[in-house]
Amino acid sequence: MLRACGAAAPASVPALVRARLARPASAVASSSSALEELAADRKGLAKVVLKKGKTQIFRDGSPMVYSGAVDRIIGRPPPRTGDVVLVADGSEKPIGWGVYNSVSMFCVRLMQLEEEAKRDPASALNMERLLEERLCSAVDLRGSLGFPSTNTNAYRLINSEGDRLSGLIVDIFADVAVIASSAAWVEKYRQQIQSLVSKVSDVNHIKWRSSTDILKEEGLDMSEQKEPAPSSYSGTVKVMENGIIYLVSMEGQKTGFYADQRESRHFISTLSKDQRVLDLCCYSGGFALSAAKGGATNVTGIDSSGSALDLANENILLNKLDAERISFLKEDATTFMKGAISRNELWDLVILDPPKLAPRKKVYIP
């Protein structure tokens, strides 16, 4: 179990940090720069200086410092990917700190602003401590929203920028935590992240999933990385969301189940009573099952993945739904719709949640 938020700083926290923790809030607030004070003892800490007029967007909360916003980098030797760096305005006054990437179009992912460092100096320039604090806050927030509960044990615990940890997603499926990495810094702190997530209540297994295409743009060739640990979870896990049972494949798309669509699935259930429903690109049947549970008279799910539809059909049985009212068909969605038009088929409610269609890289047309 994670320690309670707000617990006393451990003895390993540097003396300067402990001294700042002991000082009154007014004394800390009056400091010209908490980060500069803390950085004084950090040899080789580089400073990424922003161009004039490019600061406000990051003060307002955007964590992605794109290369075009950077004027210069102060520090020798220059920072390496994964290094902690200060981020400063045009006058070289720190506005925050983050993790650096020498290859990505996002050269810094901001982790903490100057004002936050003043309030919480124990986490300033300290990724391990910051990770613990952010995960603790995420657990508390989900707990305040009622997760996990008796009818929902599948939910998103860490939502990347939404939880101030850009590039990191953690989904909980019963006692399995699936960690999705899409940033170089996440790979660097993999061991610490896994250790912290393993302490979350009810988590007994961890599945690590690296987004290889995105990480390649971050400068990481995952083919050179070590194989996953033997304890890495595989197979399927049975979960419940809004009272509906799902089999989730640990080998499926992304984290295996779109936990961030929970409220959308519930919304569909409220619209479906006495309706004919079509769920295109249905994957394992999330929206289709919600529609059936919501009282739809007929539900058809379409997907091109046979393995996904195998799960969808198992989900029908798990939820004891009438197979006469809900069915799944393996077919390309575009091909199916062309045929449906020719047959003059009609539905009251159509759900379309397709996979990514646009290329990741920009295509320049002369």
124-162, pLDDT tens digit by residue? Answer: 999 999 999 999 999 999 999 999 999 999 999 999 999
Residue boundaries of the structural domains of the chain: 15-124, 129-233, 253-352
Estimate the crossing angle of helix 262-271 against helix 286-293, to 10 degrees: 40
Bridge partner residues of 207 (DSSP): 178
- pTM listed for this prediction: 0.85
Q: What are residue 155's DSSP bridge partners? A: 172
- Domain 253-352 sits in which CATH superfamily? Vaccinia Virus protein VP39 (3.40.50.150)
Domains 15-124 and 253-352 share a fold: no
- For the four alpha carbons of 335, 337, 339 and 341, in that order, the dihedral sign comes to negative
The predicted pLDDT at position 225 comes to 64
Q: What is the pLDDT of residue 19?
A: 40
pLDDT category of residue 55 using cuts at 50, 70 and 90: very high
Question: What's the CATH number of domain 15-124, 2.170.130.10, 3.40.50.10800, 2.30.130.10, 3.40.50.460?
Answer: 2.30.130.10
| CA-angle at 286, arms to 247 and 246, nearest 5° | 20
Percent of the chain topping pLDDT 90: 76
> In CATH, which of 3.30.1330.10, 3.30.300.30, 3.30.750.80, 3.40.50.180 is domain 129-233?
3.30.750.80
Mean pLDDT of the chain: 88
Residue 17: per-residue pLDDT: 36
Can you read off the two tokens belonging to residue 214? 């995105």
Closest among 256, 255, 238 to 247, alpha carbons compared: 238
Amino acid present at 305: S
CB atoms within 10 A of CB 112: 24
Strands 106-113 and 94-100: antiparallel
pLDDT range class, residue 356, cuts 50, 70, 90: confident
Rounded Cα–Cα distance for residues 249 and 230 (Å): 18
Q: What angle do CA 213, 353, 288 make, to 5 degrees?
A: 130
Low-confidence winner among 193-197, 239-243, 246-250 (lowest mean pLDDT): 246-250
Q: Which two tokens stand for residue 236?
A: 């399927």
